[in-house]
Amino acid sequence: MRKVSFAEFGGPEVLRLVDAEEPHPGPGRIRVVVKAAGVNPADWRVREGQVLGAHPTRLPSGVGLDAAGIVDEIGAGVEGVAVGDRVFGEGASTYAESAVLSAWARMPEGLSFEEAAGYPSVVETALRILREVGVRPGQTLLVSGASGGVGSAVLQIARERGIAVIGTAGAANQEYLRGLGAVPTTYGEGWVERVRGLGPVHAALDVAGSGVVPALVELTGRPDRVVSIADLGAPDHGVRFSGVAGSMPDALAEAVDLITRGRLHIPVEKSYPLSEAAAAHRDSQAGHARGRRVLIP
């Protein structure tokens, strides 16, 4: 089988499509024929060697956490899933024709592999940071960086829970945010005043890591009402940095429920063949997205 691999940390050019041994699932895992792999910013942070604490990486290394595919091998002790099932979930080295998953769920009826591959990590992250920031129904949440993968999930889950959202995004994504139930405004000069003009904010999420943490504290009035997933300097302002993943099986179960009820849809910004993983990383690193990018083996 073929997979994307890198032998040294570096830019997108270190990614290579190589022949590899087929992986086999250990106890509690399954293997899938990958139909689509989600591209997350974490993938290029791993490729650059930025996050060795959270993602210990031995070279050469595969890439990719999220995938959707068809089950073709089942590890010892696994129940409730059969060869031939269509699943989506999280694993390792998912930019490949075949990958082992450590957490999965059956794909909702009618969902494409391409779209399904975009959900696992963003839904886990969105559920975790909504829990950690402690925002309640009837309150207003500010999301800085609302149009990307995580932001898109946060907005829709918040809407489902009766939480009002103000979201910042680029000019091209204002209508997109409105369609997800948020009151949009643009980031950039004057954004704090624009948000203030939209009314009081009870809690805030820094999803973009664009140096806004002190302003989010000012807008909410309290550092414990702010959570960042993208600014490692957040604790310097008394703000929690959220970096430890919660339960992926619980996140997938919630994703299935929301998708099935038509309450969650994360669009695919662009699909790339596996051979163009470097281009997908370049585009993801450029930092402007509407939903998720995926690779198709």
The residue with its CB nearest to ligand NAP is 148
- Quick one: which of 61, 94, 98, 173 contacts ligand NAP (CB under 6 A)? 173
> Taking CB under 6 A as the rule, does residue 243 contact ligand NAP?
yes
Q: Residue 4's closest CA among 63, 51, 54, 57?
A: 63
Q: Per this entry, what is the length of the chain? A: 297
Told to check if 288 binds ligand NAP by CB under 6 A, we report: yes
Q: Indicate whether 126 belongs to the interface with ligand NAP (CB under 6 A).
A: no
Q: Is 287 in the site for ligand NAP (CB under 6 A)?
A: yes
Query: Which phi-psi region, left, alpha or beta, contains residue 282 (left: φ > 0; alpha: ψ -120 to 50)?
Result: alpha
Using the contact rule CB under 6 A, the part of the chain among 58-66, 74-82, 86-94, 145-153 near ligand NAP is 145-153
Asked whether position 230 contacts ligand NAP by CB under 6 A, the answer is yes
Which residues from 26-85 bind ligand NAP, rule CB under 6 A? 40-42, 45
Does residue number 12 form part of the binding site for ligand NAP (CB under 6 A)? no
- Site for ligand NAP (CB under 6 A): which residue of 11, 49, 170, 249? 170
Q: Are 146 and 184 in contact (CB under 8 A)?
A: yes
The residue from 148, 180, 225, 251 that contacts ligand NAP (CB under 6 A) is 148
b/e map 183-219, b = 16+ CB within 10 Å? bbbebeeebeeebeeeeebbbbbbbbbbebbebbbeb
Strands 86-92 and 98-106: antiparallel
55-78 b/e with 16+ CB inside 10 Å = b? eeeeeebbbbbbbbbbbebbbeeb
CB of 157 to ligand NAP, least distance (A): 14
Q: Are 226 and 133 in contact (CB under 8 A)?
A: yes
Q: Is 118 in the site for ligand NAP (CB under 6 A)?
A: no
Options 63, 141, 208, 255; binder of ligand NAP; rule CB under 6 A: 208
User: How do 30-39 and 292-296 pair as beta strands?
Assistant: antiparallel
Beta bridge partners of 143: 167, 205
Q: Which of residues 94, 168, 185, 220 is near ligand NAP by CB under 6 A?
A: 168
**Residue number with CB closer to ligand NAP (24 or 131):** 131
Q: Which helix (H) or strand (E) holds 220?
A: helix 213-220
Q: Which of 61, 144, 156, 185 binds ligand NAP (CB under 6 A)?
A: 144
Residues in contact with ligand NAP by CB under 6 A are 40-42, 45, 122, 125, 144-145, 147-151, 168-170, 173, 187, 207-210, 229-230, 242-243, 284, 287-289
